[in-house]
């Protein structure tokens, strides 16, 4: 077995987070690139959840206007290929985002099919999808690509509403791992 890739920062952060927070699971790194970055199993290695992990630097401090600095915790950007998301073998996609100014780490843990459904709705089934996810200090998460400035302002004010773009229920939601972590 020859290593053909290295673990990137997002995978390392997500794997360490899972190991630290959930003591009754095992985290595995595949020996070759199979489209799954991490495999998490229950302690007996009988049930598994596969994760595709993506990482972004924080664009908040460098690219956002001053009035957005305090209400937002972090802003990430990912370029995704629709065909790769559709063909992915991973059960969940995990978007890892480190907030520079707030010194935070957030994970958006989305079922692959739900991610594809939402992105298709937002990006009209385009092959390349630029995904901007913003995390607010009030623990909300929004997909903001192609929104107007007034919508951005509503997000930071806590007044924006759009079910397709609201990723809050996936923000730091490790429910699939919680189920594996149970001793029963």
pLDDT in tens, 72-102: 999 999 999 999 999 999 999 999 999 988 7
Backbone φ, ψ for residue 161 (5° rounding): -135, 125
Task: Output the six-digit token pair for 53.
Answer: 């992990």
d(C-alpha 129, C-alpha 93), whole Å: 15
What is the band of 3 on the pLDDT scale with cuts at 50, 70, 90?
A: low
Section 136-151 average pLDDT: 97
Q: What is the DSSP letter of 64?
A: S
d(C-alpha 43, C-alpha 61), whole Å: 40
Section 24-28 average pLDDT: 96
Strand pairing report for 38-42 and 72-81 = unpaired
Task: Output the six-digit token pair for 52.
Answer: 């595709």
Q: Where are the domains of the chain?
A: 9-181
């Amino acid at each position: 077995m020859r290593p053909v890739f290295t673990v990137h920062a997002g995978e390392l952060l997500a794997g360490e987070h899972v190991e630290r927070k959930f003591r009754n699971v095992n985290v595995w790194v595949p020996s070759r690139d199979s489209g799954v970055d991490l495999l998490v199993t229950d302690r007996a290695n009988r049930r598994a959840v596969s994760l595709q992990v993506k990482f972004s630097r924080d664009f908040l401090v460098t690219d956002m206007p001053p009035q957005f600095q305090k209400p937002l915790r972090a802003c990430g950007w990912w370029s995704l290929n629709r065909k790769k998301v559709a063909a992915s073998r991973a059960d969940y996609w995990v978007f890892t985002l480190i907030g520079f100014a707030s010194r935070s780490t957030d994970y958006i843990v989305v079922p692959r099919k739900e991610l594809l459904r939402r992105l298709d709705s937002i990006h009209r089934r385009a092959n390349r999808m630029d995904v901007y996810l913003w995390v607010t200090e009030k623990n909300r998460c929004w997909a903001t690509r192609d929104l107007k400035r007034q919508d951005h302002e509503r997000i930071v004010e806590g007044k924006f509403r759009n079910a397709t773009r609201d990723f809050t229920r996936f923000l730091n939601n490790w429910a699939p791992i919680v189920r594996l972590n149970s001793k029963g």
